[in-house]
Chain A
């Protein structure tokens, strides 16, 4: 869920050529001035560390709802989902209708009351209140490392893309985009990041919609596009009976349990980067409605980010279209350049500037989201807990701003590492995958089983991570011939006992194994260790010990459980329509 598209500086032998004109630069300049201006306007509202790091819980619900969706609308979503659309067709919608909507509704209805009601300022702090200090420390430190690495990877991808498409100097792109993000985050803190994420949401919709409209028109509409694709690319479930029958190489159980449950609930329900948006809402009701408001456009977002990939797939197959998906120097198709190549193919000067500004905004917004999550976890969960206890609010405000600058500087360092060290980002993504895979088991048991203990949670997480590592060492992302070996980052560095038809299937099953091991180990260790928290201390943190929220007085359309159920039904209907 945190993957960043890999864009090499030498990526494409046939990279799309894009020439920007004055009007395109003017659009980009106007956007930068407005987002930096928002930061400066918000500066006067930031009077305390709480204002800077948590927005003082004062953001309107329509803003937190769209920011909840937009926090995930970084490079992976825009570049990566279009790439997947071209690679897997309509099956890519599983990342939305299976891999996002159910988890967002679960968070809204069942988990948000504990995050918001406990007055925890971050997800790691919830773990401290529910379990103990060591569980919080493990989660906080791994999360802080992940956010700056993701931010650096996003920065590298942006600079590499601009160098490839526009021939901009790599260092110039890196520094300018970092300075813009720093300018508005340092002034307005989390509020700045949230407000610019919403701005970026509208920009992506209005910047990429022409691409979809013009592309579909060129192919003779939706039916024209679908008829140009092979059948297995035009159905989301029909070919999922076996892994070899569909382009993803994943069978239905791995998809539903691996992506739809373990990975998606692990990301949407426990990743502080997205949960932080809901925690900034004004009231408990607004905090619960935030993920649901985000889920509604999320369901429809495949139109903006996946359909362009499908257009590219159909267009490349259409005789006389004069379009081909870019090919890299190794001769392999480079799907990450699908969106830039479509922009170059269809959009004239003016609309080109709008689409490229939307693309840059998605990268910068992804970076800002990571930096604001990092500065909160660093200040509250690491610095205040272990280094500088009992200091004044002004001191923590200073530390939060210092962490913002440090987060950007570390991101730049990570970007240069990604540029100069082969496979380093693949390695980091692998390690983060090991750490993330079991985490939802800990939260699920913590919130819904009062007997779960701190020792159980901590060692469950550790053993789950080790299980993920071992499973990776015993599995391969392809069916190997006798004596065939693969590069160790791809797996099978112990043996190749489990052989999958794709790396996606391998990742889904790795997550299933890690989650299951963590779940069982946490239960067993909890049963053999003494509870350190009384029922009174766990009130507001565990489902069975917390007063149920009363929704009877609210109109139907304001009740999270009711609206969430309707959204889920629509998601089910979409799965059936595109079966």
Chain B
């Protein structure tokens, strides 16, 4: 089957990462958005983790196509 699942995985997690990072940036000073036990907003950090994972999957999908 000529369908590379890494592409939708990459798109999905890149989008999730972007949403969390942008949202985290705009609410970075809002204490309501803090994780109480950490005393800070971690949406940006986790958004970047998701973004890196998503871009990595897109890279794998692109490399797979070349092959």
Contact between chains at A346 and B35 (CB < 8 Å): yes
Q: Tell me the smallest distance from the CB of A107 to a CB of chain B, in Å.
A: 23
Contact between chains at B41 and A348 (CB < 8 Å): yes
With A30-B19, A41-B3, A350-B23 as given contacts, are A206 and B13 in contact (CB-CB < 8 Å)?
A: yes
State A347–B42 Cα separation when bound (angstroms): 9
Q: Tell me the smallest distance from the CB of A59 to a CB of chain B, in Å.
A: 7
State A346–B38 Cα separation when bound (angstroms): 10
Q: Which of A34, A198, A217, A347 counts the most chain B CB atoms within 10 A?
A: A34
> Given B8, B27, B32, B35, which contacts A199 in the complex, CB threshold below 8 Å?
B8
> Given B1, B13, B42, B43, which contacts A58 in the complex, CB threshold below 8 Å?
B1
Those of B9-54 within 8 Å (CB) of chain A: 9, 11-13, 15-16, 19-20, 23-24, 27, 32-38, 41-43, 46-47, 49-50, 53
Q: Which of B3, B8, B24, B33 counts the most chain A CB atoms within 10 A?
A: B3
Q: Which of A58, A199, A351 counts the most chain B CB atoms within 10 A?
A: A351
State A232–B51 Cα separation when bound (angstroms): 41
Q: Which of B12, B24, B27 counts the most chain A CB atoms within 10 A?
A: B12
State A374–B65 Cα separation when bound (angstroms): 34
Specify which chain B residues have a CB less than 8 angstroms from the CB of A37 in the assembled complex: 8
Specify which chain B residues have a CB less than 8 angstroms from the CB of A34 in the assembled complex: 8, 11-12
State which size class the interface on B falls in.
Answer: 20 to 34
Q: Tell me the smallest distance from the CB of A514 to a CB of chain B, in Å.
A: 40
Specify which chain A residues have a CB less than 8 angstroms from the CB of B20 in the assembled complex: 350-351, 354
> A195: CB under 8 A from chain B?
yes
Q: Which residue of B lies closest to A30 (CB)?
A: B15
Contact between chains at A30 and B1 (CB < 8 Å): no
> A496: CB under 8 A from chain B?
no
State A552–B41 Cα separation when bound (angstroms): 54
> B67: CB under 8 A from chain A?
no
State A30–B13 Cα separation when bound (angstroms): 10
> A214: CB under 8 A from chain B?
yes
Contact between chains at B16 and A354 (CB < 8 Å): yes
Specify which chain A residues have a CB less than 8 angstroms from the CB of B19 in the assembled complex: 23, 26-27, 30, 350
Contact between chains at A206 and B33 (CB < 8 Å): no
Closest 3 CB pairs between A and B? A218-B37, A58-B1, A350-B43
Q: Which residues does B use to contact A, with CB under 8 Å?
A: 1-3, 5, 8-9, 11-13, 15-16, 19-20, 23-24, 27, 32-38, 41-43, 46-47, 49-50, 53
Q: Which residues does A use to contact B, with CB under 8 Å?
A: 23, 26-27, 30-31, 34, 37-38, 41-42, 45, 55-56, 58-60, 63, 191, 195, 198-199, 202-203, 206, 210, 214, 217-218, 346-351, 354
